[in-house]
Structure 1
Amino acid sequence: MHFLFVIDPLPALKAWKDSSVAIMRSLAAHGHDFSFATMGDLYVLEGRVLVSATAMRLRADADWQGHDWWTQDAAPRECALADFDAVLMRKDPPFDMEYVYATHLFDYAASQGARVFNAGAAIRNHPEKLAITEFAQYTAPTLVSRDMARLRAFQAQHGDVIVKPLDGMGGSGIFRLRPDEPNLGSILEALTGMGERTIMAQRYIPEIRDGDKRILIIDGEPVPFALARVPLQGETRGNLAAGGRGRAQPLSDRDRELARAVGRRLAGRGLLLIGLDVIGDYITEINVTSPTCFVEITEQTGFDVAGRFVDALVRIVSGRPADRGAAATP
């Protein structure tokens, strides 16, 4: 099979830990071919969704710590997205308007026979922070608003809250507001742009000290290990980009309950891969754009996350039914 990665420029990837590169390595090990393109290589001509795609190979002697880990087979070729067995949308956020336009192109391509994972409409309709509202029974008390009086009231009610922008990534823009926060007004003004931008407030979950757990869900079933991203001393955020330390651990019964509730509902909407964020017993985010942490979990546990993903991808593209019993065990 031949797969297309829509991805960030390859030289910018940290190949030694990048989940997309891990998927490429697994595809290559199974004898599959793949090409790459950036979002800027997508275009529509006379109604057809096309791409300037470049075939690539992984070097046999690749230095995964460096930038010389891949080679091009040929010059880019112009072809339809539907010409590939599947298209993998692996462009990292931010989720800006260019990203939104790309999801629309994926929808049009799907109507022309392309198989896109995650699907354009599914990415667009499940914004990573807002998507938790569908599962309110599994979340801590949450408010989504740009009204500063309402946000102040929520903070007064719960005492200790987290506020964050809806379009942030890697822990950017996250603040913890304790009951005696002297800069409450300034923080809310800055985050909401004086009441012009909607943000999210959540009751603080003290179990963050044990880690912000990333649970990977593939075709509705959770990987049996999570990566608990433990904050630095004195830090509120567990994100790896904010200095958090990743510790792989088996899923708890509660983790598995949350992951299956989310995964089995969303898998049928075109979300092959989901990165569920859980703190304590609560879902905090549902990541669908380009979920990561494959490599960290595999290195610490020996569980081949990329292999599980590739197996599911190839099975779906081939039209084979899922074996839920096998998927549920390591």
Structure 2
Amino acid sequence: MPFVNDVTGILMLGNKTNLDTVVPPGHLPRTLISHSFDQLWAHYQREPGATWLVKPTDADAGADVYLLRPGSSNNRVLLQSMTGNTGVTELLTKGGLRGFGNRYCALQEYHPHTDEKRVILAAGRPVAQQLHRLAPDEHRGNTAHRVHCAETALTADEQQLCERIGRRLARHGIRFAGIDLAHPYVFEVNLVNPGGLDERVALGLPDRSPDILQALLDQARRDFSRDAPGDFPDEVPSDHPGDDPGGLQ
């Protein structure tokens, strides 16, 4: 049974732990993913003057995304909480619940920005995009958190970056995805719920659904007629010599 997005691709790429598989080097903020509070705290302390984000590796709509500002007494507590408060649990249970407390989270370098773009990829190419202007007192660019949405266009650099990511996703059977970016950085690649279709209509933006569906149908016909993953005959060489084309390790 063919799917728009390959199940294995969703399983392996549908969280923040494998973003570097599809996002080219230099376009991801510095990120450490761990379930160890000690490891995360040691990493944070190396640059106490920096601002960081901490967030779950597999959550949606900006849930539990916290800003760690320099000098805040909340920073240590948030990292403890986001990794399951294992120190407290082990103290109270003498290690009896070891293995149940640890949670993975991402500690990511924060790059201040006022605008993000949600870009919809279909069949490996950007087909729609909208501007998300963050609320003045927010660091999250999700529509659930009072962003102002508007129609927008991609710059030449953004277009090229999205096409590169689209080709990498296609190698893993992902034909429909959403990207959150503030160039040059990519913050999220959304595979399960890319959004941007009914949401655009609800916001009064042009309906791109017919273009997206047609692109997906055309690619599906090409893929399933030869019973192989999609290829892109017009793919160009990487603009970064030695750049890994992306693959699951």
Give TM class, smaller chain.
Answer: 0.7 to 0.9
Aligned to 2:37: 148
Which residue of structure 2 lines up, in the alignment, with residue 284 of structure 1? Answer: 187
CA change 1:309–1:323 in 2 (3 A) is farther
Shift of the alpha carbon at 1:322? Answer: 8.9
Q: Is 1:258 aligned to 2:125, yes or no?
A: no
Instruction: Please name the residue that 1:200 is paired with.
Output: 106
8 A contact 1:163–1:177 mirrored in 2:
yes
Deviations along 1:64-112, whole A, 9 cap, x unmatched?
xxxxxxxxxxxxxxxxxxxxxxxxxxxxxxxxxxxxxxxxxxxxxxxxx
Counterpart position of 2:122: 218
Give the letter aligned to residue 8 of structure 2.
A
Higher strand proportion (structure 1 or 2): 1
> Is this contact kept in 2: 1:155–1:177, CA < 8 A?
no
Aligned length: 208
With the length of structure 2 as denominator, give the TM-score of the two structures: 0.75
> What is the CA deviation profile of residues 15-68 of structure 1, one whole-angstrom value per residue up to 9, with x for unaligned ones?
xxxxxxxxxxxxxxxxxxxxxxxxxxxxxxxxxxxxxxxxxxxxxxxxxxxxxx
Secondary structure of 1:117 counterpart: coil
Between the aligned partners of 1:157 and 1:213, the Cα distance in structure 2 is 31
Q: Which residue of 1 aligns with 2:243?
A: none
8 Å Cα contact 2:133/2:149 also seen in 1: yes
**After superposition, where does 1:105-184 map in structure 2 within 5 Å?**
114-134=1-21, 135=23, 136-158=25-47, 159-184=50-75
**CA 1:157–1:226 in 2, change beyond 3 Å: closer, same or farther?**
farther
Q: Does 1:188 align with 2:70?
A: no
1: distance between equivalents of 2:78 and 2:157? 34
- C-alpha distance in 1, partners of 2:214/2:120? 15
Distance of 1:151 and 1:279 partners within structure 2: 25
Q: Which amino acid aligns with 2:124?
A: G
- Aligned-partner SS, 2:120: strand
Alignment of 1:211-250 (within 5 A): 211-223=115-127, 225-250=128-153
1:314 counterpart = 2:205: no
Consecutive unaligned residues in structure 2, runs of 5 or more: 87-101, 235-249
Equivalent residue number for residue 79 of structure 1: none
Whether the 8 Å CA contact 1:155–1:179 is kept in 2: the answer is no
Relative CO higher for 1 or 2, CA cutoff 8 Å, sep ≥ 6? 2
Residue 123 of structure 2 aligns with an amino acid whose one-letter code is: D
TM-superposed deviation, 1:181: 1.4
Task: Describe the SS at the equivalent of 1:206.
Answer: coil
Instruction: Please list every run of 5 or more consecutive structure 1 residues that lacks an aligned counterpart in the other structure.
Output: 1-113, 326-330
Amino acid at match of 2:17: L
- Output aligned runs, 1:2-17, within 5 Å: none
1:188 CA drift (Å): 0.9
Give the deviation of 1:200 after TM superposition.
0.4
Cα 1:237–1:253, aligned 2, differ >3 Å: closer, same or farther? Answer: same
What does 1:20-39 correspond to in 2, within 5 Å? none
Question: 1:281, CA displacement in angstroms?
Answer: 1.4
Q: Which runs of 4+ in 1 moved over 6 A?
A: 320-325
